Amino acid sequence: MTPPPGESIAAMIRQTPVPPDSQTNRDVMNIFMTTPGLGWLLLVGICLGGLGGGAAVWIYQIYKGLGIAGYSHPIFWGAYIVTFVFWVGIAHAGTLISAILFLFRARWRNAINRSAEAMTIFAVFTAQLFLGIHVGRIWKAYFILPYPNQRALWVNFKSPLLWDTFAISTYTLTSLIFFYVGLLPDLAIARDRTTGWRKALYGSLALGWQGTSRQWKSHNRTVLHLSGLATPLVLSVHSVVSWDFAMAIVPGWHATIFAPYFVAGAIFSGFAMVLTVMIPVRRIFSLEHILTNYHFENMCRFLLLTSTIVTYAYFIEYFIAWYSGVEAEKTAFYLRLFGPYWLSTWIMIVCNGVIPQLFWFKKLRTHIPTVFVISTLINVGMWFERYVIIITGLSREFNPAVWGHYTPTWYELMIVAGSFSFFSILFLIFLKLFPVIPISEVKELVIHERAHASGQPAGAH
Amino acid sequence: MGPSIGGRFRVSPNEFMFRKASHLLARVRRRAVEVVLAAVIAAGLVFGLATPERVDAQAPAAPAAAPAGPRSSQKAYDAQTAASDPSTPGPVQPIPFSHALHAGEYKIECLYCHTGTDKSRAAGVPSVELCMGCHTHFGGDMEGVQTLKKYWDEQLPVPWNQIYRLPEHVKFRHNRHVSAGVDCQRCHGPIETMDKVYMTKDTIWWPWLLPSTKPEMGWCINCHRENQASQDCLTCHY
Amino acid sequence: MPTLLGVFTTPAGVVQAVTHLKGRGFTNLDVYSPAPFDEIEEAVDPKPSKVRIFTLVGGLLGVVTGYAMTIWMSLDWPIVIGGKPFASIPPYTVIAFELTILFGGIFTLIGLLVVGRLPSLKVGPGYSARFSAEEFGLVVEVPERDVAEVDGLLRASQATEVSLVAA
Amino acid sequence: MPEIHRREFLKLVGASAGAAATVGCSDPVSKLIPYVIQPEVIVPGIANYYASTCQECSAACGLLVKTREGRPIKLEGNPEHPINQGALCARGQASIGRSYHPDRYKTPMKRVGDKLEPTTWDDAIAILSGEIKRAGNRTWMLGGQTGPTASAWIDKWVEAVGAGGRVVYEPFAPEALREATQALFGVASEPVFDLSGSDLIIDFGSDFLESGPSPTEHARQFAEARDIAKRERGGARFVYIGPRLSMTASNADEWVAAKPGSEGLLALALLKVAIGAGGGTQAGRDGVAAPLAKIDIAAVAKQADVPLATIERIGKALGAAKSPVLLPPGVALASRRAAATARAVMLANWALGAVGKGVSIPAPRDGKLPSYHQTLALVDAMKQGSVGVLLVHGSNPVYSLPPSTGFSEALAKVPFVVSLASMPDESSERANLVLPDHTPLESWGDAEPRPGIRSLVQPTLRPIYDTRALVDTLLDVARAMGADVAAKVPTDSFRALVEQAWAGTDFHAALAKGGVFAAQPGVEVTLVGSAVDFEMAEPALEGDGDFTLLTSPGALLYDGRGANLAWLQETPDPVTKITWVSFAEISPRAAEKLGGLVFGDVVEVETKAGKLSLPVVVRGGVRDDVIAIAIGQGHTVGLWSSGTDSGHPGEARGVNVIDVLPALTDESGGRAWLLTKAKVTNTGRHEKLPICQDSQNQRGRRLGLAVPLAELAAGDAHVEAEHGAADAVPGAGESAPGYPAHGEAAHGEAHGSHEMIKAFDASMDRAPDSPYRWGMTIDSDKCTGCSACVVACYIENNISIVGEEQVRRGRHMAWLRIERWVGDGNLEGGQDRLPIFPDAESSSTVDIRIAPMLCQQCGAAPCEAVCPVIATYHADDGLNGMIYNRCIGTRYCANNCPYKVRKYNWFDFALERWPDPMYLMANPDVTVRGQGVMEKCTFCVQRVASARQIAKNENRVIRDGEVTTACAQSCPTHAIQFGNLVDKTSAVAKAGSEPVRGYHSLEELNTRPAVTLLAKVQRGTVEG
């Protein structure tokens, strides 16, 4: 475009017109830009109720004492720790999907990793609540942090609980970073398409991202490294949680298999939770073309795998208990199956060991309602797994004189329910505030496909 | 007693709540006390500097009907005035008793009044009888001593305000420290110079630059370390 | 200097344009892309990203801190616990490991911000929302005399449109 | 210490600041209150000890009352006292609670309308004297036994005021025994049994270790007689004959579950066999020839439902025994033929030459003695309305007399009832006037348990409330009635009276010592010729039904007087480990018959006299035709004795079995208890009982071990098999104080057999430079399970009472519990939530191992490693320290403690469960734990700390025996030894180095406990 003589080139400057937006953008934006419907509000309302109830009970418990829970000698840990471990378990799917599958270059993860990561973070938050709910003197709980204090006292780094403290907080922070870094480009997209407070919010969070190649380059590298860090972290966190038990001498806890066993269990429950949550989400926001059955089927395959590992672990536990010949161990495991807690044990075995085996059949893997039901059952089963490990272990220990029994009280159940509400509220807000689907990653695929469609291989020339 | 949440032989709910509250308060107060104390001291100093010369003239002349015994020295009157001066640090005691006068001026041994401090965990607080042992003979012309006499006549104990206090889960043993040759001032400050007793500020800094102020645990530990005294937790906590 | 903006629909075009421009010595260029495309980043700047260094430093710092803190704190006031040695390495390894990850993670984030020049307040020349849709933008600074040539060059590599965004 | 308390606290004693406050909260006692006049002896912060006498039962043990700032905080046994020699039973320990009891009458009360209202003493005295004037000789006095001085004076008083008379009433008075002695030897006094020298003890159900005449003393003698170290052949054998395996019986070698009522016949049958086997003295053989001729052993065997062989075997053993002692039946088996039975047993004692050796007949006591038939006579008089004023003191007849006597109605007929109780009970609630008595700690007094042993009671606590000692009250009444009356009882106060009575002794020396102890030997007795021919037949039982109702005194609540002491309610029953409630014991076979009853099923027990329903405990330790119910529960008045804890004021706690007993006496007119048959029917209801030991089946785990006597003699034992003797006590049997060195050596080789357990570095058991490693040995062969240590621990360490509901939920706070194991156990049970009582309990060779369990102060403590905040750690002197104020309550330590000795404050028990003025008895040396804190035994570290001060000042180490724990101190049998393991000469090191019996609980876990248990010795059945 050579300029006509005499005219300055500056005269030719004009703004490039903005053409119609991309399909992907619109699809995803619709989810969280549209004003919340009645159903959403209703859900939030219900959850707020549950949350309020839980909070009230917690306050009462702090005032009155942990006696309002079902504890007794010798069962010093109960529903709170059970639920704590449960949530930590849930927290594993997210990072796993994002990190490990990223490293394995499993493309199908794109559709789900954002919501999975969100779940991770919310689950960890919820789990951390339970550490506070569990301790007897929460007003002194800061003792557990190794901060410089006038007493010249430090903490006991030999205690698995302290490892826990470190592992969980590391996991929280790392997951947050991971989540945010992944979110960055999408925030920019949102920024460019919103006005008012949303623009302000996304704008400030997007840090002025423009997708320049320098940004993308360091972004890729960052995601790669974070994945590299997160992968061992995921494995370590639940190992550490498992050591809370494995390091103790309680019969039924003191087992070397616990670390891998718990990690597998965590991934298992995590994936189940992702399914339980995403199936309705997909339905409500009609994302069938992004969240395809292909994705769900892959996750079912994962469930099948982890379920088999977990079942194997169950079996090994019993085998070793028998093989060791230690009477306390043998008794503990015998009474697990046939003692006062037989019901919980069988729920656990059926839900985690038997039912998931149905996923061998492609028909069931791809039949979404079935998948939903099974994944929910797995969540139940996994809660009971922790219940069985903790309660039966403690109820039948070395000294038969202090064998005891535990039944959760309503107070405890209300707090547990409250925790589910807490988690749900966070997720519901997330649905309405951030792109549930990682837009840029999906776009990457879309553009690739377009390139192929248009005949020429991308990048080749 | 009275009805309550399940189980009658606990305290009644409102009493229970009251106690509970008082405990929570106490937690707050522990810090608060220090802050207030610091403020008071600061204020006291400022005020002290602001008023160059405290007027001692208004020491009352001996009352008309002076009781038996010699008339007390001007020093005594000054001390009494100082001890009853609310503007100086430390609470005003029911009797304007001056340690500066008794321990400083008259050089009375601490253990003479605080009996049993070398024998027992608890430091002895002198009985009214002990005070009267001397004050039947002199000081009768000072209103402080007259107040004391009133207590004696009514056979009531003197409700002194406590200045140094450790929580109940700290088992401090005065006798150990006395027999180990720790002098009172190490913890109680230059008591022999105080007309009105107040808690002196003393602060040590740990290597990681964190202060520990008397009578916090770190402060004790520091001294124990300096003197190779026991650092076993069970020494003080059981 | 005038700045030209070429708009592309496929990464391939961008790559092609970039390589040509570079070949012609127009190195002062940048690309807006809606999604990460290794080939583009390769073409623009083949050197590996500096973020790696941050991660390394963070990780090392973490492991050192982990061991140092635990051991020192156990020895600062040695207390016998369960008849174990004061500073027992195996349990402390857990702490050290966690701190490695933590510091590594945080430093990597810092790396992203530093290397990626974030947060950046100024909007790049010619940036518009279409580049957070599905189009690619290639901005290049060219001397006035070469405007025509570059224009042609861009169009040659399937730029859907070319415009002048700054004089 | 909470604000509310301070005022009263100061009113009581001026003292320097500091008393019970809870961890983590420190509401300042912002005032320092000095004494007005400081008593010479009192140094704030230092305890004073005063000798006194326990008033809980007729045994009259010597006390050392530990006081701080003028208030008693613990009762300890007086080492100089011949009866208990420094030990003190659970009931004695708990009795301190009477003085600080929230229920106490704070002023005199008079009845206005239908309730009692406070009044003044002057008013009360005026009213009473008026009433007595009016009633004249229609005034009667009904009360428990008091000290000799008081008793004599009261008789004078009764005369002086012209009252009708006075009846002494004790529910458990041994009248039959006195009657028997009278008949046999012409001396009316209860024989004194000394077991220490015996080599064969046969107890015909006297339960001398729990409810006998002098439990603490007998426990000591019993342990002496069976001391494995001092006696040859493993010491005395012990045969228990009775329908129920009581706590006493649990210590027997052999249990003969004879039919209740057949004891007399058995005694004669055994005697016959014994003499046949050449036993007994010459005189004895001749003396009893006639009556024995009538005895047909085979018939007796059938009647008593005991195998003939058993009778013959035990009889032969009896014949061979050098110094046997036979104990006549106690309360539980006092049938309508109690006198004859006692006579038979005493006759056997005499014939076998025990009288004068193990059994001595003291000179008869002077002064009024308890009499049941007099009581019944008084009741009749009341019914006829011929009683105008009734003064009740020191007893609770409304509760302890069977309703069938009609006492309650009779009482209604008495126009003016006066109670001199210090605490409300069923009787005082019925009174028109209450003149509250001092508690024993506030009052003067004396006691003479047996001739020559005179023991003083001195006040150690300024009366908390406006109360007066019984004698002073009566004195005031006399004065109010006029000078002439007063002149007849010349004394100016109870104190003066006591001093007067002790004139001739050095009173102050006596006060310091606790009394004058010059026991007189028993009188020489000869058999009254006619005494030998008497009718010995089985007693008839009232009513029908296939169960015999066995009512035994509560092991802790005795006749119900202990029921209002929280510690006795919360301390588990030594046999069933149940707290706070009533229960009936039946055998598994009986339970089967009643339609498969299980633990906690509620049955209805019906006799002619009435019915009551209560839950059952199904255990092998009861005869199939017997239902056993303990006496003591079922009160409707009292904070802890009634149902108030479960939230129903006025409702009864448990049942009072006396309600279903007929009012019948034995031949001597003494009170009979074994009276009636009972119908038992299943109500179909079920209750969850507050039980503290979930299973008495140890499943072969190494918790309570036993060694057969043979192996012990041989010197090898399965106990030692896995486990070196030197290791029994860490550091024992190792030469230089180079204690650390030993660890690897001895321990390594000791555990050679486990490749899993590595040699442990013993230097970590205590700081290298520490001269102490505190340790303990517990001899389960000596431990009788009496639970004295448990209560001592509660009171020494300010342990909270949690109450029925919390115990039911498994939140019992005892730091020291006594585990009762039946044999080695097996792998059965545990499938359901019911406690387990192994069948082995029913076997006639008793194999019960009693193993007190407290914090083991492990060298390699599992609890320490897991605490994130170092709230529990290993102290320099080897203690497993627990720092309450550092604890945040993760409860991980408790999970990881294999012994489960850590207790957690689920609520702010200290606040909720210490009604005023109980805080006054809190031990100021021990922090009161607050909500959310873990707590546990630390070997009474406060005592160690105090001892260390003294030692340091004299710069030496603490000497052996200079400091001991509350539990060891209270133990009557010295089963518990405490001391320094580093000092190889210490008692504990010696005891623990016992080569064969020493073992550690659950030692395969290699926790290196500082507590060494000594295995129970299985002496097997007695052989001729």
Cα separation of D812 and D646, whole Å? Answer: 16
Sign of the dihedral defined by the CA atoms of residues D911, D913, D919, D924, in that order: negative
- The two three-digit tokens of residue B189, written as one number: 């400050």
Three-state secondary structure string covering A395-423: HCCCCHHHCCCCCCCHHHHHHHHHHHHHH
Cα separation of D96 and D920, whole Å? Answer: 11
Q: Which residues of A touch B211 (CB under 8 A)?
A: 150
The pLDDT mean for chain A works out to 88
Cα separation of D932 and D921, whole Å? Answer: 23
Cα separation of B9 and D806, whole Å? Answer: 13
Contact A134 D890 (CB under 8 A): yes
What is the structure's pLDDT at A458?
43
Residue D221: left if φ>0, alpha if ψ -120 to 50, beta else—which one?
alpha
Nearest-by-Cβ selection for D761 from C79, C81, C83: C83
Helix, strand, or coil (residue D904): strand
Contact D649 B8 (CB under 8 A): yes
- As a whole-number percent, the residues of chain D with pLDDT over 70 amount to 92
Mean pLDDT over D116-130 rounds to 93
The type of residue at D13 is V
Strands (E), D558-713: 584-586, 601-607, 610-618, 626-631, 677-686, 706-708
Nearest-by-Cβ selection for A150 from B20, B27, B212: B212
pLDDT surpassing 50 at residue D166: yes
Contact D860 C80 (CB under 8 A): no
Cβ contacts below 8 Å, chain B against chain D, sum to: 203
The 10s digit of each residue's pLDDT in A226-273 is 999 999 999 999 999 999 999 999 999 999 999 999 999 999 999 899
Cα separation of D883 and D933, whole Å? Answer: 9
Helix (H) or strand (E) holding B31, with range, is helix B13-50
Nearest-by-Cβ selection for D888 from A141, A249, A396: A141
Mutant choice from A27, A229, A448 vs C, greatest count of C C-beta within 10 A: A229
A166 touching D, CB under 8 A?
Answer: no
- Whether the Cβ atoms of residue A403 and residue A393 lie closer than 8 Å to each other: no
Cα separation of D786 and D797, whole Å? Answer: 19
Output the DSSP codes for D198-222.
-SEEEESS--TTTTSSSHHHHHHHH
Cβ contacts below 8 Å, chain A against chain B, sum to: 27
Query: What is the ipTM score, two decimals?
Result: 0.87
The 10s digit of each residue's pLDDT in D245-262 is 999 999 999 999 999 999
A256 touching B, CB under 8 A?
Answer: no
The 10s digit of each residue's pLDDT in A278-324 is 898 888 877 787 788 888 888 899 899 999 999 999 999 999 999 98
Q: Which residues of B touch A150 (CB under 8 A)?
A: 206, 210-213, 216-219
Neighbours of chain D (3+ CB pairs under 8 A): A, B, C
What is the structure's pLDDT at A461?
39
- The two three-digit tokens of residue B37, written as one number: 């104390």
Mean pLDDT over C13-31 rounds to 89
The 10s digit of each residue's pLDDT in C84-102 is 888 889 999 999 999 999 9
Q: How many CB atoms lie within 10 A of CB A180?
A: 16
Cα nearest neighbour of B170 on chain D: D927
Residues 775 to 814 of D: which have CB under 8 A from any A CB?
A: 806, 809-812
pLDDT surpassing 90 at residue A411: yes
What is the structure's pLDDT at B29?
46
Q: Which residues of A touch B210 (CB under 8 A)?
A: 148-150
Q: How confident is the model at residue B14 (pLDDT cuts 50, 70, 90)?
A: very low
Q: Which residues of B touch D43 (CB under 8 A)?
A: 115-116, 119-120, 124
Nearest-by-Cβ selection for A152 from B20, B27, B218: B218
Q: Which residues of B touch D650 (CB under 8 A)?
A: none
What is the structure's pLDDT at D752?
37
Residues 291 to 330 of A: which have CB under 8 A from any D CB?
A: 327-328
Helix (H) or strand (E) holding D349, with range, is helix D338-351
- As a whole-number percent, the residues of chain A with pLDDT over 70 amount to 94
The 10s digit of each residue's pLDDT in D92-112 is 999 999 999 999 999 999 999
Q: How confident is the model at residue A113 (pLDDT cuts 50, 70, 90)?
A: confident
- When mean pLDDT is compared across D276-280, D403-407, D943-947, the lowest value belongs to D276-280
What is the structure's pLDDT at A12?
59
Cα nearest neighbour of C102 on chain A: A170
How far apart are the CA of A63 and the nearest CA of chain C, in angstroms?
32
Cα nearest neighbour of C88 on chain D: D865
pLDDT surpassing 80 at residue C31: yes
Q: Locate all alpha helices (DSSP H) within D62-195, ordered by sequence.
A: 90-94, 121-135, 148-160, 175-185
How far apart are the CA of A298 and the nearest CA of chain C, in angstroms?
25
Mutant choice from D764, D765, D897 vs C, greatest count of C C-beta within 10 A: D764
- When mean pLDDT is compared across A390-394, B160-164, D385-389, D568-572, the lowest value belongs to B160-164
Mean pLDDT over C17-38 rounds to 89
Neighbours of chain C (3+ CB pairs under 8 A): A, D
- Beta strand D115-118 with D109-112 is antiparallel
Q: Which residues of D touch A137 (CB under 8 A)?
A: 24, 887-889, 931-933
Of D960, D956, D936, the C-alpha closest to D948 is D956
D1008 touching C, CB under 8 A?
Answer: yes
Q: Which residues of B touch D22 (CB under 8 A)?
A: 23, 168
pLDDT surpassing 70 at residue A109: yes
Residues 11 to 40 of D: which have CB under 8 A from any B CB?
A: 14, 16-38
How far apart are the CA of B4 and the nearest CA of chain D, in angstroms?
9
Mutant choice from D30, D40, D873, D908 vs B, greatest count of B C-beta within 10 A: D30
Q: How many CB atoms lie within 10 A of CB B47?
A: 12
Of D518, D584, D593, the C-alpha closest to D551 is D584
Q: Which residues of C touch D861 (CB under 8 A)?
A: 82-83
Rounded to two decimals, what is the model's pTM?
0.89
D912 touching B, CB under 8 A?
Answer: yes
CA distances from D797 to C8, D562, D814, D944, D965 (A): 84, 21, 10, 13, 11
Phi, psi of D670 (to 5 degrees): -70, 165
CA distances from A28 to A346, D557, D627 (A): 42, 77, 78
Contact B19 D2 (CB under 8 A): yes
What is the structure's pLDDT at D267?
93
- Whether the Cβ atoms of residue C5 and residue C148 lie closer than 8 Å to each other: no
How many CA atoms are closer than 13 Å to the CA of B107, on its beta-carbon side? 0
Nearest-by-Cβ selection for D695 from A141, A248, A400: A400
D1005 touching C, CB under 8 A?
Answer: no
Q: How confident is the model at residue D1014 (pLDDT cuts 50, 70, 90)?
A: very high
What is the structure's pLDDT at D757?
41
A74 touching D, CB under 8 A?
Answer: yes
Pick A443 or D715 by higher pLDDT: A443
Q: How confident is the model at residue A29 (pLDDT cuts 50, 70, 90)?
A: confident
The type of residue at B80 is Q
Task: Give CA angle at D463 (D459, D468), nearest 5°.
Answer: 90
The 10s digit of each residue's pLDDT in B87-131 is 888 888 889 999 999 998 889 988 888 988 888 888 888 888 888
DSSP annotation of B53? S
The type of residue at D885 is N
Cβ neighbors of D229 (< 8 A, separation 6 or more) are D994
Nearest-by-Cβ selection for C101 from A185, A229, A443: A229
How far apart are the CA of C127 and the nearest CA of chain D, in angstroms?
54
The pLDDT mean for chain D works out to 87
- Whether the Cβ atoms of residue C18 and residue C28 lie closer than 8 Å to each other: no
- The two three-digit tokens of residue D923, written as one number: 């031990």
D556 by Cβ neighbours in 10 Å (0-12 / 13-18 / 19+) ranks as buried
Contact A136 D900 (CB under 8 A): no
Helix, strand, or coil (residue C138): strand
Cα separation of A112 and A114, whole Å? Answer: 6
Cα separation of D560 and D554, whole Å? Answer: 7
How many CA atoms are closer than 13 Å to the CA of D438, on its beta-carbon side? 22
Q: Which residues of D touch A151 (CB under 8 A)?
A: none
pLDDT surpassing 90 at residue C117: no
- Beta strand D445-450 with D453-457 is antiparallel
Mutant choice from B212, B231, B232, B236 vs A, greatest count of A C-beta within 10 A: B212
Mean pLDDT over A150-156 rounds to 90
